[in-house]
Every structure is written in C-alpha cells, then in structure tokens.
Amino acid sequence: MTKFSKAVRAYEKLCRQADVPEETVMAYLVELSQRERYDLYANYEEEMPQDLETEFAAGMERILHQEPMAHVLGYSWFYGYKMIVNEDVLIPRVETEELCAEILKRMDRYFADCETIEAVDIGTGSGAIAITIAREEPKVHMRATDISTDALKTAVKNAEINGADISFVAGDMLEPLIEEGVKLDVLICNPPYIPEDEQMEKSVVDFEPHVALFGGTDGLYFYRRIFAGCRQLLKDKAFMAFEMGWNQREAMSRLVAETLPEAQYEILKDMNGKDRMLFVYFGLEGMEYSDEQE
Ligand code: SAM
Ligand code: GLN
C-alpha cells in the first residue's frame, strides 16, 4: 500500500527524468480516481486503494513511454464534452476549443436572423468541433467529413454519446459536399497544417495519425485546396473558420489575398499569444478586423 502523496511525488520525479510534463501525474490520477483534485489533496496522506494503485502504475508506465494520457484513458475532454480518442483520430487540442468559441460568437453576430445555419466541419477527426458547434448552437444543421473512415467511426460514436445530431460523410476535402450540392453559411476546417519536415514531439509523431498532422511541404496544402473550391459551396453571405500554425501568418495572409481577393479576413491569436485562427468573410460587412488593429 502506498500513500497518494508518495505515489504522486515518485511519478512526478520519473516524469521529469523522462521529459514528460509532471502535471500529467495529477491530471491522470484525477481522471482515474474520478475524484476532484481538491479532494485528493485533502486526503493526500491516505493509502491508495489497491486496484487504483495497480491501474495508476500501469497507466503511468505507458505515459512515461511518451504515450499520450488521452490514449491511456481512451478519452479526452473538449469544451466540457467527453470524446473517445484512439490511434485513428487526433486528440482534440485546447487551441481548437478557442476556435469553437470564436465560431459560436460569429454565428450569433452574423446569423441571428436566420432560422437555420448550414455548417460543415471538414476533417472532423474525433468529431470534436462538429459536436461542440451542434450542441452549443441549436440553430445549426451540422455536417462533418473526413477522408479516414476509421476516424469517422469514432466521430459517430462521439456524436452519439454527446447527443449531437450530425450528418457524417466520408470523402476528400470539398468533394463530397460539391457532389451533394450543399450551400453553406459556415465552413470550418482544422486541416493537417504541419510542414512535412518539421521535427515533433515523440508523443505526437509516434501516437497520432499522420494523415491528421501533415499538410505538405509548407503546411498550406489543404488551405489551398479549400480556397480554390470554396466559392461553389458558400452562400453569398458566409464565413470560413480555420485553425492554422503559429508561424503561418505571413504565408497565409498572402495566400488569402491572392486567391480570395473579394473576401475579408482576420487572423486571431490563441491564449498563448500565438497566431492560431483564420476567419474569412464573404459578403459580411461591418466587422472589425483584428488583423489590421495590431
Ligand atoms: N477536426 C479535428 C480536431 O480539430 O481535433 C481533427 C483535425 S486533424 C488536424 C485533421 C483531420 O483531417 C484528420 O482527422 C484527417 O483524417 C483529416 N483529413 C486529412 N486529409 C483529408 C482529406 N484529404 N479530406 C478530408 N479530411 C482529411
Ligand atoms: N496542433 C497540432 C499539433 O501541434 C496539429 C494540428 C493540425 O495539424 N491541425 O500537434
């Protein structure tokens, strides 16, 4: 039998040695024990129940080998919703929660008078964005696509457990939507945007699907494809929302200006002050452009 305090301290030390963030230890214990953090600290000198201790040790062993905590648990939290994750889907990131919040604000601002909002999440992965938007904006009619049918299986399950009504369709970028002839108010995409030769953490590159990560030599391959085809899909008044890489502002600005000269756009920073979100507006006037205010 081991006390909580002793086990946590021992694993925090091992994390430091293995270059794993030591906060992972408490975060994992909170999930595994289904107890609140303050409750664990309040009873820090108690013995751990044997089955918890065994499971905790086995999970920490995997985490110390750089396996993401979300894979060890089998789920992660996104915008307060529980999302099943596995090797077929990208683990949804906190930055993407911010993207969802910014999308919801703009849906309110631009489509307050509309009865329904036609939206799509392209490359939905776990379904995190589509599910959040569908649950948080009741007026939305949500579609979600992915080229990976394995990812879609997980997204379908996540939509079910979270009670989100979403039409899923497999296919390559805009193709299935163009075939179907949909007309959209909002197009959302967090595409793979990492340049192919970028060095990445082992926990990402060894455990997450490469089809979800890499976006050609400069990371902009999927944006180019969407910018080239989006006009066929969008209504006259519409916006597009993308996540992007922190170092893509200049290249992205050039690409939007060149390929969508009639549109207006802004690039927003995430909570770490990094360029992270791109919004592109068609036929929507009267907004403030944070890009030009900086
Ligand atoms: N939307 C999820 C999120 O934000 O957590 C996952 C985003 S992940 C960065 C990119 C997703 O795009 C992956 O699920 C991947 O399978 C999908 N994808 C890659 N190539 C695609 C393509 N040609 N057409 C459609 N989806 C694609
Ligand atoms: N933000 C993810 C990472 O850094 C990548 C997401 C993406 O390519 N869209 O691992």
pLDDT in tens, 116-172: 999 999 999 999 999 999 999 999 999 999 999 999 999 999 999 999 999 999 999
Instruction: Determine the average pLDDT of the residues in 221-225.
Output: 98
Q: Is 165 exposed, middle or buried (0-12, 13-18, 19+ CB in 10 A)?
A: exposed
What is the model's pLDDT at position 287?
Answer: 60
In tens, the pLDDT along 158-181 reads 999 999 999 999 999 999 999 999
Instruction: Determine the average pLDDT of the residues in 259-279.
Output: 97
- Closest ligand to C-alpha of residue 95 is 2
Q: Whose CA is nearest to atom 4 of ligand 1?
A: 190
CA angle (172, 177, 180) in 5-degree steps: 125
Task: Return the biggest CA–CA distance within the chain.
Answer: 67
Q: How far is the CA of 88 from the centre of ligand 2 (A)?
A: 15
What is the model's pLDDT at position 285?
Answer: 74
Tokens 């926990």 locate to 203
Q: Residues near 246 by Cβ (< 8 Å), separated by ≥ 6?
A: 270, 274, 275, 276
**Ligand 1 proximity of 219 Cβ (cutoff 6 Å):** no
DSSP 154-191: HHHHHHHHTT--EEEEE-STTHHHHHHT--EEEEEE--
Instruction: Give residue 1's pLDDT band: very low, low, confident or very high (50, 70, 90).
Output: confident
* The CATH number fitting domain 86-282, selected from 3.40.50.300, 3.40.50.150, 3.40.190.10, 3.30.499.10: 3.40.50.150
Domain boundaries, the chain: 4-65, 86-282
- Closest ligand to C-alpha of residue 225 is 1
* Mean pLDDT value across the chain: 96
Q: How far is the CA of 4 from the centre of ligand 1 (A)?
A: 39
